[in-house]
A and B are shown apart, each in its own frame.
Chain A
Amino acid sequence: MLVWVLAPALRLHVIKEVFVKTSLLQRVALGALIAALTAPAVAGTQLTGAGSTFVYPFFSKAFYQYSAKNPDVTVNYQSIGSGGGIAQFTQKTVDFGASDVPMSSDELKRAGDPVIQIPDTLGGVAITYNLPGVPNGLRLTRKLVADIFLGNVTNWNDAQISRLNKGVKLPNLPIIAVHRSDGSGTTYIFTDFLSKVSPDWKSKVGTGKSVSWPAASSVGGKGSEGLAGQVANAAGSIGYVELSYALQNHLNTAALQNAAGKFVSCSVGNVAAAAASKPNISATDFSIVNQPGANSYPIAGYSWVMLYQHGSDRAKSKVLHDLFAWLVSQPAQSMAGALDYVPLPSSVQKTAQATLKTMTF
């Protein structure tokens, strides 16, 4: 007990961490739990899925609503990470998988049976920073972001940064480049962006969910909360987080120069604009970083659901089809918008519906 009495700071932080920062997720999870405990035991179809943690808040809310309307369908989704989701899907221990990056041709080969992959929602990656005296909306070019994370630009008073930010007093502080230490779809989208805008990054580092970070001042934080914590702790830090996380925690985010030369902030609207500028996406051509268009925010990406095209249990395949046909339709997608995800553009919704139609049942 003494620990709690002696360390009010500790208590405050724990309470903040557990109850405030994750309140959205907790509310959703609590709702689902209460629903599960109070729901009468109906002999219906039980679907199980596993994978991405990024889509978890959206899936919990969507599946809860779907079960409310279709009481004979219950969906159990385990957010164990995209890699784990693909592994379980491949071993057929779950009915569907979810991943921040679609399965590669190698992974599809391992799955054996034909797989369909549809986008379920999308998100942006915001650049966040901790600079005393510098407000929200610091301007950065794509090349500067790459140079900072490569370790080529090492101080905030660098002329290349101040030239973009006239009227902002940039401190003389070394730059600390913070990355996600856990394998993550957010890192994949961010490094995909860096590879597209910087040949140096592409040849030295590459694209992946975990990469070897080159900057001499790089530090890794576990999870969005670990990264944001590290950025908040150390003045001079810069890092990247999911758009929804940045919005819900009111983090300072940078305005990036896009392919059209305009400086755009990381917002739901600007990420949607980037997605809309590439209407035809597929599981092999899915990257939407560095898109053209005056409003396109340059760091964005889709999240994916994997299903077997010819499932062995026909009745279950039908239920899966109906569930995901609803998930990629407008009503479910606007619900994603309310949770700070970016709804799928209507052209992508149509493509997803067409792909789902190829399922047999």
Chain B
Amino acid sequence: MRRRADSARRSDAFFLFCVYAAAAFFVVIVAALFVMLTKGSWLSLQTFGLKFLWTSEWNPVNNTFGALPLIFGTVVSSLIAIVLAGLVGILAATFLADFAPRWMARPLSFTIELLAAVPSVVYGLWGLFVLAPLIRSYIGPALQKTLGFLPLFQGPIYGVGLLTAGIILAIMILPTVTAISRDVIAAIPEDQREAGMSLGATKWETIRSVVLPAARTGIFGALILALGRAVGETIAVTMVIGNRPVISASLFAPSYTLASVIANEFTEATSDLYLSALIELGLLLFVVSFLINAMARLMMWTVFRDK
């Protein structure tokens, strides 16, 4: 008996060690990333200081670097993506969990998850050769005709630009939003739905006031995870965003993201300051992701605290 207890205690300690080590692994990786990025961008941090954050000139020829348009492009393209993917994803998840008959739900889920397996360069090519011409010839003009009074839809339409990048990103993060939301919604106990129905609520009312509120934290988590992917996506965005560091009110205008600049310019950057500025963009991307995550958590906490 004694020996059995000893070995049990030992294996327990070993298991505990593994659990702690696995958790510590993430902390170490994140810390190491932060240290390396800071070290690499030191020259740029010293040269430009905080000015790096709110100046708009990105000029490798005379070594002047400012990241404001890149931060703008990253945040706006990701926001477009999360709004579009959130709408479609949550609706699709509701359908899969509550409406679709079993013979339909399975293949449909499979199809949606398949989207996640498509390499991002394929999305980029599709965006450049199919979506961009569609936006230039049909979607853009239609939006301009109906909503053209908004500054968002004014100005020349190039095909590539913020809107195109946002749509491509939305398609790319849709599987994450849908798959997780579907699992969360499906996990809501059936008796809660039945309770709603028995009070005389229609199917829509039940979903709106019983199912979705119960699933909101999980759905929110899905959106945050998807947003993380959108912020850091590189190749597909680079191919369709137009790669111009400007801030424009129009969604049709070209833009540029932090990740795209790094992908475009890192291989041919030779001066020390230039390289350092590019690494600082990496650091910024890290900080932007961190802030988005923190803000989302804060929002979740304040909005849902007393419900």
Write the residues of chain A forming the contact surface with B, with a CB cutoff of 8 angstroms.
1-3, 7, 9-10, 13-14, 17, 80-84, 86-87, 104, 107, 174, 176, 181-184, 205-213, 217-222, 226, 229-230, 233-234
Contacts and interface: CB of A to CB of B under 8 A. Distances in A.
B268 A9 contact: no
A308 to B, nearest CB: 18
A220 B268 contact: no
Given A206-B62, A210-B269, A218-B254, 6 more contacts: A1-B114, A7-B130, A84-B268, A181-B264, A205-B61, A233-B159
Interface in B121-156: 122, 125-126, 128-130, 132-133, 136, 156
Contacts of B115: 3
Interface in B62-116: 62, 111, 114-115
Contacts of B254: 218-220
A183 B242 contact: no
Contacts of B256: 220
B242 A220 contact: yes
A81 B267 contact: yes
B160 interface: yes
A219 B125 contact: no
A218 B254 CA distance: 8
Contact of B59 (A80, A81, A181, A211): A211
A222 B158 contact: no
Q: Which 10 A-B pairs have the closest CB atoms?
A: A183-B268, A220-B243, A81-B267, A181-B243, A212-B59, A83-B268, A206-B61, A182-B264, A13-B129, A208-B61
A107 B271 CA distance: 9
Contact of B269 (A1, A7, A83, A234): A83
A1 B118 CA distance: 11
A220 B265 contact: no
A307 B132 CA distance: 44
A87 B62 CA distance: 21
A229 B129 contact: yes
A130 B62 CA distance: 32
Nearest to B238: A222
A330 B270 CA distance: 33
Contact of A13 (B130, B260, B264, B265): B130
A217 B159 CA distance: 12
Nearest to A85: B267
Contacts of B122: 10, 14
Contacts of B159: 230, 233-234
A212 B57 contact: yes
Residue of A14, A80, A81, A210 ringed by the most chain B CB atoms within 10 A? A210
Q: How large is the interface on B (under 10, 10 to 19, 20 to 34, 35 or more residues)?
A: 35 or more
B133 A183 contact: no
B226 interface: no
Contacts of B267: 80-84, 182-183
Given A3-B114, A13-B126, A181-B243, A233 B264 contact: no
Interface in B236-267: 238-239, 242-245, 254, 256, 260, 263-267
Given A10-B126, A226-B128, A182 B268 contact: yes
B227 to A, nearest CB: 24
Contact of A208 (B58, B60, B130, B263): B60
With most chain A CB atoms within 10 A of its CB, the pick from B160, B242, B260, B267 is B267
Q: Which of A14, A83, A107, A218 has the most CB of B within 10 A?
A: A83
Contact of A219 (B111, B158, B266): B158
Contacts of A207: 61
A54 to B, nearest CB: 11
Nearest to A2: B111
Interface string B195-231: 0000000000000000000000000000000000000
Given A183-B267, A184-B268, A210 B60 contact: yes
5 contacts: A7-B130, A183-B269, A210-B269, A211-B59, A218-B254
B265 A183 contact: yes
B225 to A, nearest CB: 22
Contacts of A2: 111, 114
A183 B158 CA distance: 22
Given A3-B111, A205-B61, A210 B243 contact: no
Contacts of A181: 238, 243, 260, 264
Contact of B264 (A9, A10, A80, A210): A210
Contacts of B128: 226, 229-230, 233
A98 to B, nearest CB: 13
A17 B268 contact: no
Contacts of A182: 263-265, 267-268
Contacts of A83: 266-270
A10 B128 CA distance: 11
Given A2-B114, A176-B158, A219-B254, A9 B130 contact: yes
Contacts of A213: 244
A217 B252 CA distance: 12
Given A13-B130, A212-B61, A230 B160 contact: yes
A219 B244 contact: yes
A229 B242 CA distance: 12
Contact of B125 (A17, A174, A211, A218): A17
Nearest to A211: B61
A247 to B, nearest CB: 21
Residue among B58, B118, B129, B265 facing the most chain A CB atoms (10 A cut-off): B129
A154 B78 CA distance: 32
A85 B130 CA distance: 35
B125 A222 contact: no
B186 to A, nearest CB: 22
A208 B118 CA distance: 35
Contacts of A221: 160, 239, 243
B118 A233 contact: no
Instruction: With a 10 A CB-CB cut-off, give which of B61, B62, B133, B242 has the most chain A CB atoms.
Output: B61
Q: Which of B111, B128, B270 has the most CB of A within 10 A?
A: B270
